[in-house]
Amino acid sequence: MVKEARSQRIQAIEDTLAQKAVRPAKEDDICILVYTNDMEEIAHMRGSQAVLQSILGGRVVAPVHLTSHRFEVRDEATLKLLIQKLSDLLERFHPFPITVVSYVPLYSAFREVNLLKWRIRTSVELYEFTMKVDGVLEALGIHSIYPPGWVSSLVTALEDIPELCYDRQELNQNLQLAKETFPRHLFTANEIALSRVKGPEEYEQLERITLQ
């Protein structure tokens, strides 16, 4: 238990430092979203979110997704080339599992809301996916807003929560009422979307890519 508590404190410190290194989202940022199109998995996640919502309030996030990358593209020609290169790369990339290991409370400065996130495991497949996309961005001279080597590990479950406990250990203990053990499978990543941020709750989908 002591080792686990120490690990959680270290992870919380690392998350705080990482979040400070990333500027808040703004209009015209481009995001790469990782999610699933499996209806059975989507239904199971909705059920989990409904239980969490009954405990904390707030709104259910749909579709559930991981934002793997966020960056700026200065011109439409570069964006068009990026979409083509990502399509060529990712159409040969196999679907991979997303596994949850804990809950994480966060505040979104861009949207001015409390969020409940699932922390996911940084798997070999997720790392490989992230590095391959990083390589495409770098080749086109596109600079990620995330720090070098960053692998996203947070997926939003609920948003706009009225009151949220920011002590992670206490939060995870309180949410044991949700009766979901960790680690557990969240979804199979088999769809990728490129989206442009238009506002705090408005996005323009630019492209969808299916992993085979």
Domain borders along the chain are 27-210
What pLDDT is stored for residue 175 in this prediction? Answer: 87
pLDDT classification of 19: cutoffs 50, 70, 90: low
What pLDDT is stored for residue 133 in this prediction? Answer: 96
Q: With CA atoms as reference, report the closest residue to 120 among 144, 94, 149, 97.
A: 97
- pTM for the full predicted model: 0.86
Q: What rounded mean pLDDT belongs to the chain? A: 88
What pLDDT is stored for residue 23 in this prediction? Answer: 74
- Residue 144 CA to residue 22 CA, distance in Å, equals 10
Distance of CA 167 to the CA centre of its chain: 21
- CATH number 3.40.50.150 is the correct assignment for the domain at 27-210: no
What pLDDT is stored for residue 13 in this prediction? Answer: 41
What pLDDT is stored for residue 4 in this prediction? Answer: 47
Question: In the predicted model, is pLDDT for residue 183 greater than 90?
Answer: yes
Question: In the predicted model, is pLDDT for residue 189 greater than 90?
Answer: yes
pLDDT tens column, 70-94: 999 989 999 999 999 999 999 889 9
Tokens of 133: 């996309």
Ramachandran sector of residue 59 (left: φ over 0; alpha: ψ -120 to 50; beta: rest) = beta
- Residue 154 CA to residue 115 CA, distance in Å, equals 11
